A and B are shown apart, each in its own frame.
Chain A
Amino acid sequence: MSAVMITRKVRKWEKLPGKNTFCCDGRVMMARQKGVFYLTLFLIVGTCSLFFAFECPYLAVHLSPAIPVFAALLFLFVIAMLLRTSFSDPGVLPRALPEEATFIEMEIEAANGNVPAGQRPPPRIRNVQINNQIVKLKYCYTCKIFRPPRASHCSICDNCVDRFDHHCPWVGNCVGKRNYRYFYMFTLSLSLLTIYIFTFDIVHVVMRSVDNGFLNTLKETPGTVLEVLVCFFTLWSVVGLTGFHTYLISLNQTTNEDIKGSWSGKNRVQNPYSHKNIFKNCCEVLCGPAFPSVLDRRGLMQEDSPASSTSAAPSSSSSSNPMSQTMKTTAPLIPNEHTPDDAKPSIAASAEKSDSPKEEDPPTPQVPPLASPETEADASLAKDKAQ
């Protein structure tokens, strides 16, 4: 083996496929394009700052001090919901590891039988019956899995997302099973905030104009004009969006299904997930259990550098991948984008020498989680080997 292997511990998020960006060492997960998200943040914070600067002093004195207090609480709630929606995992389904992908391929081939040469194999679809409705599960060629019902592949983030609603550039993330309720609370509270600021802007202008005249008022509080403008346009879009999502929630549908017309009623196709009761549907979507993330972003795994001997799929063990250590001497190294060019010829040479399939048994036992030298169990294993 001519390549020198340096193993180092990395967090699993560093090795996750897909086009997400991660911050705070894996705690924050967003899409790549964040420009519109910054705009959203700027608009909300900017408009509220103007409101607190120009309107609130006057209204607190002339009407009630509760007005700015309530505005502040509402503003904080909106920001909390926005950040929660943007920063959380929407319900990304991890891609299939090689063994699982192979197993599924074998099942597909067994189901298709013998396809005559020259003919295209049938599309990869599985039919399941849910609530007396046949639902088709499609195969995702990127993630190599059959997508669960209601999951969809987001091309912007390059991930399959469970209960995929839509990819929202305003929050800079996909909206899926895990963050849909936060997204809805964000649009709802933003609608309320917009209406609130708009109303009190008008009240403020009216009250001040009575004393000073309309033009003087505008000169004294120029921020008001800007706020009213922003609120006016936001009102139509956000309130409309909230209304639309309220409608979807009452029917237990996703935006994706609505756009595709999955349950539009033609061919007597009905939504099998709906409880046929508006209250129950709302409760399920908004007050259902908080699903955990199945992407272990902050787990640790071993990475061998400069040459990795495995594919890009993350290892499963939380602290070690012993196979990569034991396989150092036997597995052919697969050149990938991380391999420096000078190591590639040596890799090719060693690939020719050791042509064995990857599960050739190394002298150490292949008990998966144990062979890391980092744990006590493994130290005793090493001791036993030495005996």
Chain B
Amino acid sequence: AINIPKTTTLCYKRLLFHNLQELRHSASLANKVFIQRDYSEGTTCRFQTKFPSELESRIERTLFEDTVKTLNNYYAEAEKIGGQSYLEGCLACTTAYLIFLCMETRYEKVLKKIAKYIQEQNEKIFAPRGLLVTDPIERGMRVIEISIYEDRGSSGSSSGSSSVSGSTAR
């Protein structure tokens, strides 16, 4: 199982907290958008770059697309079948895959890079716009969940009518 080290989670939380500090008295979870997987190229992990309408007023299309495209590139790198993956596979087989107990696989290394990238993007781009991107691995690599926060004063009744449940908020 993947365990993001506690220090990374802690840093993530701290930075996120500071960036959302100005919204802290009024920020409330208004909605969540789920970017679905793009299966047009098979079962490799890829997300759709279609810009959701809910984000139209919140973030520039190019920034969003760049983020998703970079994530797609990371996943393609992790799942690439080539010389290195063959070597890793054959070497691991000769050790009866016991080597996986002590060595980190290439996929796990890339997942760590992805976690760091998402943290940076949240801090630099998404949090100032009142958005929060969740790492897809926490959603079973099915969706990229983007939480939209609203100023409480401006949202009025819209957040109350939203059908999302706030009980497992992330």
User: Is there an interface contact between A369 and B39, defined as CB atoms closer than 8 Å?
Assistant: no
Question: Is A297 at the interface (CB under 8 A from chain B)?
Answer: yes
A130-B41, A287-B85, A360-B160 given; A366·B166 CB < 8 A: yes
Enumerate chain A residues within 8 angstroms of B23, measured Cβ to Cβ. 365
- A359 to chain B minimum Cβ distance, whole angstroms, is 4
Alpha-carbon distance between A234 and B100 when the two chains are bound, in angstroms: 30
- A329 to chain B minimum Cβ distance, whole angstroms, is 14
Enumerate chain A residues within 8 angstroms of B118, measured Cβ to Cβ. none
**What are 21 A-B pairs with beta-carbon distances under 8 A?**
A80-B98, A81-B97, A94-B139, A99-B168, A100-B32, A128-B40, A129-B40, A130-B41, A150-B43, A163-B43, A273-B43, A289-B88, A290-B88, A292-B2, A292-B105, A294-B2, A299-B3, A321-B168, A322-B169, A366-B29, A378-B13
User: Is there an interface contact between B2 and A296, defined as CB atoms closer than 8 Å?
Assistant: yes
Question: Is A216 at the interface (CB under 8 A from chain B)?
Answer: no
Question: Is A135 at the interface (CB under 8 A from chain B)?
Answer: yes
User: Is there an interface contact between A283 and B39, defined as CB atoms closer than 8 Å?
Assistant: no
Enumerate chain B residues within 8 angstroms of A130, measured Cβ to Cβ. 39-42
Q: For the A-B complex with A288-B85, A359-B28 known, give 8 more contacts whose Cβ atoms are closer than 8 Å.
A: A99-B165, A103-B32, A149-B43, A283-B81, A283-B86, A368-B29, A376-B14, A380-B17
User: Is there an interface contact between A289 and B164, defined as CB atoms closer than 8 Å?
Assistant: no
Interface residues of B in 1-18 (CB under 8 A from A): 1-4, 6, 9-10, 12-14, 16-17
User: Is there an interface contact between B96 and A77, defined as CB atoms closer than 8 Å?
Assistant: yes
Q: Top 4 closest A-B pairs, CB basis?
A: A287-B89, A359-B166, A80-B96, A94-B140
Interface residues of A in 334-387 (CB under 8 A from B): 357-361, 365-370, 375-378, 380-381, 384
Alpha-carbon distance between A108 and B170 when the two chains are bound, in angstroms: 23
Among the stretches A31-39, A190-198, A202-210, A310-318, the one at the interface with B is: A310-318
Chain B interface residues toward A at CB < 8 A? 1-4, 6, 9-10, 12-14, 16-17, 20, 23-29, 32-34, 37, 39-43, 78-81, 85-86, 88-90, 92-93, 96-98, 100, 105-108, 111, 132, 134, 137-143, 145, 147, 149, 152, 159-160, 162-170
Q: Which residue in B4, B14, B162 is a CB contact (below 8 Å) of A318? A: B4
User: Is there an interface contact between A135 and B39, defined as CB atoms closer than 8 Å?
Assistant: yes
User: Is there an interface contact between A296 and B138, defined as CB atoms closer than 8 Å?
Assistant: yes
- A40 to chain B minimum Cβ distance, whole angstroms, is 18
User: Is there an interface contact between B24 and A316, defined as CB atoms closer than 8 Å?
Assistant: no
Enumerate chain B residues within 8 angstroms of A129, measured Cβ to Cβ. 40
User: Is there an interface contact between A294 and B140, defined as CB atoms closer than 8 Å?
Assistant: yes
User: Is there an interface contact between A182 and B142, defined as CB atoms closer than 8 Å?
Assistant: no
Alpha-carbon distance between A363 and B19 when the two chains are bound, in angstroms: 19
A273-B43, A289-B78, A369-B13 given; A80·B97 CB < 8 A: yes
Question: Is A71 at the interface (CB under 8 A from chain B)?
Answer: no
Q: Chain B interface secondary structure, helix, strand, loop or mixed?
A: mixed
Pick the most buried of A94, A131, A290, A299: most chain B CB atoms within 10 A of its CB: A290
Enumerate chain A residues within 8 angstroms of B97, measured Cβ to Cβ. 80-81, 84, 182
A93-B140, A106-B163 given; A318·B169 CB < 8 A: no
- B153 to chain A minimum Cβ distance, whole angstroms, is 11
Enumerate chain B residues within 8 angstroms of A288, measured Cβ to Cβ. 79, 81, 85, 89
Chain A window 103-130, contacts with chain B (Cβ cutoff 8 Å), 1 for yes, 0 for no: 1101000000000000000000000111
User: Is there an interface contact between A361 and B28, defined as CB atoms closer than 8 Å?
Assistant: yes
A102-B163, A377-B10 given; A369·B16 CB < 8 A: yes
User: Is there an interface contact between B40 and A310, defined as CB atoms closer than 8 Å?
Assistant: no
Interface residues of A in 75-92 (CB under 8 A from B): 76-77, 80-81, 84, 89
User: Is there an interface contact between A368 and B25, defined as CB atoms closer than 8 Å?
Assistant: no
Question: Is A223 at the interface (CB under 8 A from chain B)?
Answer: no
Q: Which residue in B29, B89, B96 is a CB contact (below 8 Å) of A286? A: B89
Interface residues of A in 60-82 (CB under 8 A from B): 76-77, 80-81
User: Is there an interface contact between B93 and A185, defined as CB atoms closer than 8 Å?
Assistant: yes
Alpha-carbon distance between A378 and B165 when the two chains are bound, in angstroms: 23
Enumerate chain A residues within 8 angstroms of B145, measured Cβ to Cβ. 99-100
Alpha-carbon distance between A331 and B169 when the two chains are bound, in angstroms: 14
A273-B42, A296-B2, A359-B160 given; A319·B9 CB < 8 A: yes
User: Is there an interface contact between A375 and B24, defined as CB atoms closer than 8 Å?
Assistant: no
Residue in chain B with minimal CB distance to A78: B96
Q: Which residue in B4, B6, B13 is a CB contact (below 8 Å) of A377? A: B13
- B103 to chain A minimum Cβ distance, whole angstroms, is 10
- B102 to chain A minimum Cβ distance, whole angstroms, is 14
Pick the most buried of A96, A137, A148, A359: most chain B CB atoms within 10 A of its CB: A359
User: Is there an interface contact between B137 and A294, defined as CB atoms closer than 8 Å?
Assistant: yes
Question: Is A323 at the interface (CB under 8 A from chain B)?
Answer: yes
User: Is there an interface contact between A368 and B164, defined as CB atoms closer than 8 Å?
Assistant: no
Alpha-carbon distance between A376 and B18 when the two chains are bound, in angstroms: 13
Enumerate chain A residues within 8 angstroms of B106, measured Cβ to Cβ. 289-290
- A324 to chain B minimum Cβ distance, whole angstroms, is 7
Question: Is A291 at the interface (CB under 8 A from chain B)?
Answer: yes
User: Is there an interface contact between A365 and B167, defined as CB atoms closer than 8 Å?
Assistant: no
